[in-house]
Amino acid sequence: MADGRFRIIHHTIAVFTEQGRHFAHTVPADAIVTVHGAVFDGERLVDVTWDGKKAMMFAQDLRYRAIAFTDETK
């Protein structure tokens, strides 16, 4: 998978920074996230934006719990 927009198909966790601390929040199914950066593989955290907020998600979660989103996949 590479950067772009992805639709979450099963709720999953994202890590947000709030007031200098990290918090995990659930990203619901059908949410659209934008992945930033290079091609992701392995099990590292990748930068995403969801609902206008920057966060990090595990690449593995995106591979198994998201599909590429385009205007045709709405």
Domain at 48, CATH number: 2.30.30
Domain of 39?
Answer: 4-73
Tell me the C-alpha distance between 64 and 57, whole Å. Answer: 12
16 and 55 Cβ atoms separated by less than 8 Å: yes
Q: Give per-residue pLDDT as tens, 16-38.
A: 999 999 999 999 999 999 998 76
The domain tally of the chain equals 1
Q: Quick one: which of 71, 66, 19 has its CA closest to 57?
A: 66
pTM of the prediction?
Answer: 0.82
Continuous segment of H or E residues that includes residue 40: none
Q: What is the mean pLDDT of residues 6-16?
A: 96
pLDDT of residue 44: 86
pLDDT mean over 1-8: 82
Is 90 exceeded by the pLDDT of residue 51?
A: yes
pLDDT value for 43: 74
